[in-house]
Amino acid sequence: MLNNFFWTKIWSEYFYKAIYIVCKKYVDQYNGQNDGNMISNGEFNVMTLLLPRCAVVLDIGANQGEWSKKALSINSNLELHCFEPSCKTFERLTKCNFPINVKLNNLGVSSCNQMAQLKIFSEGSALNSLYQRVGLEDGYGLEAQTVSEKVLLTTLDDYCNNLGLIDKGIDFCKVDVEGHELEVFKGMRQLLSSKAVQFLQFEYGGCNIDSRVLLRDVFYFFEEYEYVFYKIFPEGLLKVARYDQRFENFQYQNWLIVRSNIQLNNLIKKML
């Protein structure tokens, strides 16, 4: 009898765990979160619809070039500027043999020009960050970073001024810098004030705990500029007129910031 009770308990635990996993996956998809696959999370759909009409694109946090490769597969004529601060990861990026219309920069992007310490999980990891990540050991199997690399950071305003890109305009700017996104935005005030940027895509998630930057902070920063927020879902975009605490859950998600005079009716998803 005890043996039957034991196996019933074990079976129940596995059964409920399986139900939890399935339900969580559905909830995550419904909420547009915790899916790092560009194809299934809606990110690639946005790229496919927007990049064909773009000319100048920035890939900030290029890592080993996966996003840039997909961007070029959509529009091979892009003037693409890639930023990767880690020397080792930058070496891998250079081996992508991108065409001449791609400019590779061994730089990070921030709110000021400075040297900083990049905390390393592993060589080439997309999770390497300017912030010390904590609390990832049990849930994600990631030990805290113990190695760091000195990297050079610049601002987008300075970079674009030096290359004449502010007058030329930036069509699409993808920002994936593991919690440092707000500092990138702070370093592009001139670009934003002059409405030189059409689209900005950025990530939000657990790394914002370590950088201590809320989604609210990003919304508040953009209040002085004429831009609109959209959350990226697998089936389209949800326009978010103002900050809502329900989005502040530190679950991985992608956002698109759009110049207010641009209409995206062909991308808008129905309200949940």
pTM value is: 0.90
The partner residues of 247 in beta bridges, in order of sequence, read none
Domain definitions of the chain by residue range: 1-31, 36-259
- 36-259 carries CATH number 3.40.50.150: yes
CB atoms within 10 A of CB 13: 10
Buried-state track 102-116, b at ≥16 Cβ within 10 A, e below 16: bebbbbbbbbeeeeb
Among residues 173, 125, 167, 114, the alpha carbon closest in space to that of 147 is found at 125
Q: What is the pLDDT along the chain (272 residues), one digit of tens a residue?
A: 555 655 565 666 776 777 877 787 877 787 888 888 999 999 999 999 999 999 999 999 999 999 999 999 999 999 999 999 999 999 999 999 999 999 999 999 999 999 999 998 888 788 888 888 888 777 778 788 878 899 999 999 999 999 999 889 999 999 999 999 999 999 999 999 999 999 999 999 999 999 999 999 999 999 999 999 999 999 889 999 999 999 999 999 999 999 999 888 766 654 33
DSSP 3-state of 84: coil
